[in-house]
Amino acid sequence: MYAQMIKSTGEGVKSLDDMEPDERAFQERINAGGKIEPKDWMPEGYRKNLIRQIGQHAHSEIVGQLPEGNWITRAPTLERKAILLAKVQDEAGHGLYLYCAAETLGVTRDQLTRDLLSGKMKYSSIFNYPTLTWADMGAVGWLVDGAAIMNQVPLQRTSYGPYARAMVRICKEESFHQRQGFDIMMKMAKGTEAQRKMAQDALNRFWYPSLMMFGPSDAESVHSAQSMAWKIKMNSNDELRQKFVDQTAPQAEYLGLTIPDENLKFNEETGHYEFSEPDWDEFFDVLKGNGPCNTERLEDRNRAWNEGRWVREGLLAHAEKKRKTAIAAE
Amino acid sequence: MSSPESSPYSDTDAAPHGKARATEWPLWEIFIRGQHGLSHRHVGSLHAADAESAIKNARDVYTRRNEGVSIWAVPASAIAASSPEEKGALYEPANDKVYRHPTFFDIPDEVGAM
Ligand SMILES: [Fe+2]
Ligand SMILES: [Fe+2]
């Protein structure tokens, strides 16, 4: 997902009886559906895990602007350009909502930024794939935002208050993102033969990377078990991936496009689609930094940060000067 | 006791939540009043060099879809907050005053709406 492979304490889930009173009260509050707020007591593992998870989610929103930003100046019509611009601006907003949630846990914005720019913190693997044609704007909105929604909707109920509230804002804006993507796909799929081919090609390239967004199966993972006990992860990776395929396969059919998986078929008995796993070696390779665009993405973010430095410092100096003149005038 | 103030994330410049760090713009808490006459409501925070740009940034971050008609930006460091530990002492005085709720009184049906 936007946060992939988050490692918790690795110690496994403690039973209520094994907990000290503080931790027990904390866990009981979560079990009862209560929210944890910034000033409440929390285990260090919960805090650290959340900083990693929310931080990685925020970085994904920010880096996620790059593949779509690539097409703003080349959108086919003025209307499409305005829509794409609004969508990308939303993603910047999502990043900011999430950074401010992470900051309530005691990490600074600058620290999170430094960790992104140095490669210490990750962002979702999906944004290391290139956007080669206009149809990719359709595929990204439809599939990538669609997959993100699967994960973000349940996170509105996550135990950490500021994170849950950020997710509520984000979810309100996401369905616009998915719909504008599907709208592009409809136009292309029902357009000329060349357009239909572009749409099919975009689906071919984005299908498996979208399935990878959910991460490898975590049925056996102690990290996931702990995160689920803390309610900072609401569903298993396989569960969400299945839901995504079940929702998306009929949509592809509606478009008259073929999902690039010969094993894809509806199982009448289970009521679910059967499908092929993505190539997990590729996934781990992309996470390690060897995807088609990893270097470019990090370079772009570093350049933006470095070239924006004079603006950050200049505005701060200006604010300081104004403050001093105001004091002098009193 | 574990709190954002006392246990900063590893290799973070230690500073209380809301205080400006050397290279960071100060943090502002943002409150928005919507169209329908309700009070300003806290929506989140953002960084800005001064109050004027905090309001401009808040417009872009928190009102992209006409969510509000009025924005307040408050320096996060200027906010005094009650602490969760004093929950008991702070709210208990209200707990034993059930007569503050209208349902405390039994009014006969014949009296009509009241
Ligand atoms: Fe987003
Ligand atoms: Fe989105």
Average pLDDT over residues A313-327: 90
Residue B72 resides in a domain: yes
B91 in a domain, yes or no?
A: no
d(CA A231, CA A229): 5
> CA-to-CA distance for A127 and A300, rounded, in angstroms?
13
Q: How far is A51 from chain B (nearest CA, A)?
A: 8
Res A116: pLDDT: 97
Neighbours of ion ligand 1 (CB under 5 A): A 61, 91, 94
pLDDT in tens, A105-124: 999 999 999 999 999 999 99
Model pLDDT for residues A28-60, shown as the tens digit of each residue: 999 999 999 999 999 999 999 999 999 999 999
Q: What is the value of pTM for the model shown?
A: 0.90
Higher pLDDT, A185 or A316: A185
The enclosing domain of B73 has a CATH number of 3.10.20.520
Which of A130-134, A217-221, B105-109 has the largest mean confidence? A130-134
- B38 occurs within a structural domain: yes
Query: Residue B6's pLDDT is what?
Result: 35
| Min Cα–Cα distance to chain A from B52, Å | 9
Q: Which domain holds residue B56?
A: 27-82
The Cα–Cα gap between A47 and A163 comes to 12
Question: Looking at residue A36, what DSSP letter applies?
Answer: B
User: Does B55 fall in a domain?
Assistant: yes
Distance between CA atoms of A57 and A112, rounded to whole angstroms? 11
Q: Please spell the DSSP secondary structure of A290-310, one letter per residue.
A: ISTTHHHHHHHHHHHHHHTHH
Decide if B13 is inside a domain. no
In a mutational test of the B interface, the residue from A26, A42, A108, A311 whose CB has the highest number of chain B CBs within 10 Å is: A108
Query: How much is the pLDDT for B8?
Result: 34
Give the tens place of pLDDT for each residue, A120-176: 999 999 999 999 999 999 999 999 999 999 999 999 999 999 999 999 999 999 999
A108 touches chain B (CB under 8 A): yes
**In whole angstroms, how far apart are CA A177 and each of A138, A141, A144?**
10, 6, 10
Q: Does A109 touch chain B (CB under 8 A)?
A: yes
pLDDT for B37: 85
What ipTM, to 2 d.p.?
0.89
A204–B contact, CB cutoff 8 A: no
Across A214-238, average pLDDT: 91
Q: Is B65 inside any structural domain? A: yes
Look at residue B37 and tell me if it is in a domain. Answer: yes
Cβ–Cβ below 8 Å for B9 and A43: no
- Is residue A90 predicted with pLDDT exceeding 60? yes
Report the pLDDT value the prediction gives residue B63, as an integer from 0 to 100: 94
Q: Is A289 on the interface with B (CB under 8 A)?
A: no
Is there a contact between A66 and A140 (Cβ–Cβ < 8 Å)? no
Is residue B5 one of the residues assigned to a domain? no
CA distance A39 to A188: 51
- Domains held by chain B: number: 1
pLDDT beyond 50 at A104: yes
Closest CA to B42 of A100, A99, A156, A178: A100
Q: Which of A10-14, A235-239, A270-274, A281-285 has the lowest mean pLDDT?
A: A10-14
> Which chain B residues are within 8 Å of A46, Cβ to Cβ?
none
Identity of the residue in B3, B12, B81 whose CB atom sits nearest the CB atom of A107:
B12
**pLDDT digits 0-9 by tens, A170-207:** 999 999 999 999 999 999 999 999 999 999 999 999 99
